[in-house]
Amino acid sequence: HDQLWWTGPELEQRSEIDEQVATQYEEQYSLVLQHGYESISSSSAANGDDDGDTGTVNMTFDNVQACSEARGLETDCYVGISNLIRSHRKKVLNTQHTIKDEKLSDSKTLSDFELKLLSQQSLKGSQKSTVMARQMGEFDQQALTAMDES
């Protein structure tokens, strides 16, 4: 974009090229994210991890950095994230309904046991997102460190 003024046709062509490049970044980033999320389930299952902080992501900084133009667009690039969010919400709501249906008292407040049950379901449902957020934060820190050093 080293040109100051663009004609109408040039601007249209530039917009089409920019859109194609953006689409390529998003598609590449989608594949990186998909591989990362799938690696969490396989490594966590293999290790028997239920805690969201102990899973590992099989992604490299270089792969994420190559897609840096699409950083911040994760939910737009990879539909699997939206599916995880819906699944998480469904698990928590189902647990709430089960608690409500089986509640013996008329109390509107939840007992400590019921709160713990809800919390456990929420943690299970958000495990992959927690692991991925931690990994992306580490990558962001690496990028900031590299920028400071140059």
Q: Has residue 90 got a pLDDT over 90?
A: yes
Q: What angle do CA 145, 43, 139 make, to 5 degrees?
A: 10
- CB burial of 27-61 (b: ≥16 within 10 Å; e: otherwise) equals ebbbebbeebbebbeebbeeeebeebeebbbebee
3-state secondary structure of 121: helix
> What's the pLDDT band for 102 if we cut at 50, 70, 90?
confident
| Between residues 17 and 26, the one the model is more confident about | 26
The total number of residues shown for the chain amounts to 150
Spatial neighbors of 64 by CB under 8 A, at least 6 apart, are: 32, 71, 136, 139
Reported pTM: 0.71
Give pLDDT tens digits for 38-84. 998 654 444 545 444 557 888 899 999 888 888 888 988 899 999 99
- Distance, CA of 49 to CA of 56 (rounded, Å): 10
What pLDDT does 61 receive? 92
pLDDT classification of 105: cutoffs 50, 70, 90: low
Report pLDDT digits (tens) over 107-148: 778 888 888 989 998 998 899 999 999 999 999 999 889 888
